[in-house]
Chains A and B, each alone.
Chain A
Amino acid sequence: MLDDVEDLLRAARTPAPSAEAKASAIAAAMTAYDRDSEKNPASTQGQHAANRLLGETLRTGRTIMKKWLMAGTAVTAALAAGYVGAGLQTRPMGLGTPTAQIETMASAPGTSGGNGAVTMDSHGPAVLRSAASPDEAVSVMMGPAREIAPYPSPVMDRMPLFEDRDRIKEIATGGLKSVAAEPVSTFSADVDTASYALVRSQLNMGRLPHPDTVRVEELVNYFPYDWPLAESAGEPFRPTVTVAPSPWTEGRKLMHVAIKGYDVVPEERPRSNLVFLVDVSGSMNTPDKLPLLKNAFRMLVSALAPEDTVAIVTYAGQAGTVLEPTPARDRDAILHAIDSLQAGGSTAGEAGIRAAYRLANAAFVEGGVNRVMLATDGDFNVGQTSDDDLKRLVEKNRESGVYLSVLGFGRGNYNDQLMQALAQNGNGTAAYIDSLAEAQKALVDEAFSTMFTIAADVKLQVEFNPAAVSEYRLVGYETRALAREDFANDRVDAGDVGSGHSVTAIYEITPKGSPAEMFGELRYGRKDAAGDAADASEYAHLSIRYKLPGEDKSRLIARPVTPDDEVADIGEASADVRFSVAVASFGQKLREVPALAGYPWSAVREMAAGARGEDPFGYRSGFLTLVSLAESLDRTR
C-alpha cells in the first residue's frame, strides 16, 4: 500500500484540455502578439493621419461583419480585411496575389537562415487550420500582422488595435493643449456605451482592462443623467455647462458640458415581444459563445420596458421552452432563466424554431415589435425538414408580423448559407457577434429598431478665450476628434443622437496665470492672444451643430461659458455632474492617464458614492462595485 511517493506522483494523469479551450487560448495569444507588435512605435509611423476616419472605419467594419452572414467564406473575409486596411488610408496593403503573400512569408525568415522557412512552409496548413476562421487564415497568410485587425477573443473586441495609435499619439502630446496654439477644440458626439460593458466584464473576470480598450467618454455616457431637456423636438438640445475646481489637479478647473437629446414621450415607444431562440448544443460551450450570449441577453433585458415580454426557447437534443412569455417587469425570473442555460447535446433546430414562433404568436403585440432572435454558432441541424421548408416557415411568419433575427456566435463551422437564407426570409438582420460591444449593438438596437434619431451629425466645438484660459485637455473622445474646419462643413459627418441620449464632455482647463500652467509664456504674440482685457469675463464659447432628421443643412446652438456657470467647489455641482466626473476619473485611471496618477481610487469612490442620487436601476451602485474591484486589482498589479 505504501507506494513510494514518487511513483504515485508520477502516476497521476491529466485529463485532456478541450479543443475549444485550446483554440481560444491560441486565438488570445495571437491577439496579444499582434497587439504587442502594434505597440512598437516604429510600426505606427505615419498612421495618425485622418484621425476622424477611425470611427467611420470602425463602423464600416461592423457593417461588413454583418454582411459576412450573407456571403460567408474566406473571400468575403479577405475583402473585409482589405477594406479595413484601405479605409484607414494609411497603408493600403493590397491583398495582392497568393504569390505576393507567399513572398511576404518567405522574406520574413531571412534572419534565421534557410531551414526555418522550410519547416514553416511544411507546417503552414496546420497553422491555418488551428486559426480556424477565414479572416484569421487571411491574416496568417499576410505574414506581419500589423495592418490587420486583431483577433476577436472572448474578452477583447476589434477596436483596440486602432486605438493604440491614438493612445501613442496622446502620450506624445500629453493630451494638454495650449490655448495660444490651438484655441479651438472640435469633436463629434458619441453616444456609444460599449466600452463600459467591456470594462465591466474584464473587471468581473478579475483583470484590469487593457488601457486602450477604455474609452472614457463611453463610460461617462453609459449612465443615464437628468440633464435639463429641450422643450421640443424643434430644438433638440439645451447644453448644461458647469465650471468647477478640478479634483485631479490643484489649480485647474473642470469645464463640464452636457447635452441631452429631446426625449420622446414614453407612450410613443411600441411594446416589444421578443422570443430568444438559443442554441445550447455542446459546441456552444466556449467563452465566446454561450457565456457571451447570456451577457448579451442580460444587457437586452435591462433595456426593456416593464410591459415588454421575453420568452426563451432552447434547442439541443430536444427543443424546450425555458421561459414562457414573461413581462420584463419580472426581471428576476428572466435573468434566472438566462442563468440556467447550459450547453450540452446535439442540435434540433427545426423543432426549436417552431416552438419559438408558437410563443411569439401567443404573445403577439399588435403594432409592436414581434421578433424571434435566433442565437447559434451555426450547427443548425434542421431535423427532417428540408432547408426550403424551413425558409417557408420563416417567410410565413414574417407575413404575419413576426420577424427573425439571426445572431451568429463563435468562429469556425458557421453555417452561413442557411443562416443567411433564414434571416433574409425573416426580414430580419443577421449579425455576427464576437464581442459584448457587438452584441450590444446588434441586440439592443434590434429590439428598439423603432427608436429614432433626433439629431444627426452632431458636432461640438469649444473656442477657449486665451485671456481667461491658457491650457485645456479634453477627457476622452480621442477617436472622435474633428478638424476645426470640419465643424461647419455639412458634408463631414459625425455621430447621431437618439431620443433620450445624453452626451457629456469634460475639459480640464488651466486658468490664465494659474501655478498649474505647463506651457511657458510665448515671447512673441502675447498681445494678440490677450485681445482686449475685458474678454476675460468669458471662459469659452460653446457651439453645437446638428441636423434635424431628413435635413441637409446643419443648425447651430451656441452660448458663452461665463463665471455664472461656475461653482466654488465641486461639491456644489449637481449630483449628475459629480457622478460623471467620478466616472471620468475611473476611466482615466484605467487608461493610465498620467494626469490622474496621483488621484486615489478612494477619491473616485467617495465622489461617486456621494452622487448616487435615485439610481432606480442600480447602475450607479454597480459602478461603485467596479471601482472597488479596480482598486484592489490595481493594488495587486
Chain B
Amino acid sequence: MADREDPILVLARNGDRAAFARLVEANYDMFYRVAYRHVGNRQDAEDVAQEVCVRLGKAIRSFRGDCSLSSWLYRLVVNASCDHHRRTRRAREARESFAAEPLSACPDEAANEAAERLWEAVRMLPEKTRQAVVLVYSEGLSHARAAEALDCSEATVSWHVHDAKKKLKAILAAPEGAIHA
C-alpha cells in the first residue's frame, strides 16, 4: 500500500516525543501479539515487545519509507522475535532434553487448547516458515503484505504457508499427545 505518510510518523521522525509516544502506544499490542505467537508465553512476549519498543526508539529517525510503516514495524517485531528465539534456543534445547514438557502457556491462559498445541508446533517450524505463518494466520495479513513485511516475494510466502499447512496437518493427524512426547 503506497499510503500517504502518516503525520504521526513524520512528527515522530522529526523528534516529536508526543507523536512518538503515540506511535508506540498504538502499536504495542501488535508487537506483543506477534511476539507471543513466536515465543509462546506471556513473559517472553512482553520482553520481546519491550525490545521492539527500544529498537523502534533508536531506529525511527532512520526509517525512510522504503516500505509502509506497518510492514516496517512487522519486520522489526519479527526480527526481534527470531533473535529471541535464537538466543534462547540453547537453553530451550537443554530443558527439553531433560524434561519433555510443553513450553507453552498454561491451559487457562489459552482459550483453545488444540489451537495452542498447533501453535506450539508452529514454533518448531523453520524460521522463515514460522514468520510467514504468524503474519498470515495470527495477524491476518494477505500474502502480498506479509511478503512486504518479510522482504521476500509473494510466491515465497505462499510456499512457506503451503509447506507449514502440510507439516501441521501431519501433526494434527498424529495421535493426541504426540507433540508432547
Contacts and interface: CB of A to CB of B under 8 A. Distances in A.
A105 B24 contact: no
A112 interface: yes
B169 to A, nearest CB: 6
A625 to B, nearest CB: 16
A6 B7 contact: no
Interface residues of A, number: 53
A349 to B, nearest CB: 28
Interface in B107-125: 109-112, 114-116, 118-119, 122
B155 interface: no
B25 A26 contact: yes
Contact of A2 (B18, B111, B173): B173
Given A25-B53, A206-B87, A127 B37 contact: no
Interface string A120-149: 100110110011000000011001110000
B7 A15 contact: no
B10 A2 contact: no
Contacts of B173: 2
A5 B118 contact: yes
A28 interface: yes
Main secondary structure of the interface of A (DSSP, over half): helix
B48 to A, nearest CB: 10
Interface in A215-241: none
A112 B58 CA distance: 21
B10 A140 contact: no
Contacts of B110: 12-13, 15
Given A36-B58, A139-B17, A26 B53 contact: yes
Nearest to A124: B18
B79 to A, nearest CB: 14
Given A6-B137, A116-B8, A140-B18, A32 B37 contact: no
A111 interface: yes
A31 B105 CA distance: 31
Main secondary structure of the interface of B (DSSP, over half): helix
Interface in B83-124: 87, 105, 109-112, 114-116, 118-119, 122
B11 A28 contact: no
A17 B7 contact: no
Contacts of B60: 33, 36
A130 B21 contact: yes
* B115, B119, B168, most chain A CB atoms within 10 A: B115
* B37, B57, B109, B112, most chain A CB atoms within 10 A: B57
A109 interface: yes
Given A21-B46, A112-B7, A14 B37 contact: yes
B151 interface: no
A109 B57 contact: no
A633 B50 CA distance: 19
B33 A5 contact: no
A32 B8 contact: no
A298 B72 CA distance: 42
Contacts of B33: 14
Contact of A29 (B8, B24, B138, B172): B24
Contacts, number: 180
A619 B11 CA distance: 48
B37 A130 contact: no
B74 interface: no
B178 to A, nearest CB: 14
A144 B55 contact: no
Interface string A1-42: 011011011111111011001101110111111111100100
Contacts of A3: 114, 172
Given A36-B57, A112-B7, A8 B118 contact: yes
B56 interface: yes
Interface string A361-384: 000000000000000000000000
A2 B8 CA distance: 45
B118 A24 contact: no
Nearest to B29: A17
B165 A5 contact: yes
A127 B28 contact: no
B22 interface: yes
A12 B42 contact: no
B152 interface: no
A35 B58 contact: yes
Contact of A21 (B22, B50, B111): B50
B58 A12 contact: no
A312 B89 CA distance: 37
Nearest to A131: B21
B7 A113 contact: yes
A120 B18 contact: yes
B105 A9 contact: no
Contacts of B119: 9, 12
26 contacts: A3-B114, A3-B172, A5-B169, A8-B172, A9-B115, A9-B118, A9-B168, A12-B111, A12-B115, A13-B110, A13-B112, A14-B33, A15-B42, A18-B46, A21-B49, A22-B28, A22-B49, A26-B24, A30-B20, A36-B61, A105-B16, A108-B16, A109-B16, A111-B14, A116-B11, A120-B16
6 closest A-B pairs by beta carbon, nearest first, are A32-B57, A116-B7, A29-B53, A33-B57, A12-B115, A25-B50
Given A17-B42, A115-B7, A636-B87, 11 more contacts: A9-B115, A12-B111, A13-B112, A15-B36, A29-B57, A32-B55, A105-B16, A108-B11, A111-B10, A119-B7, A127-B25
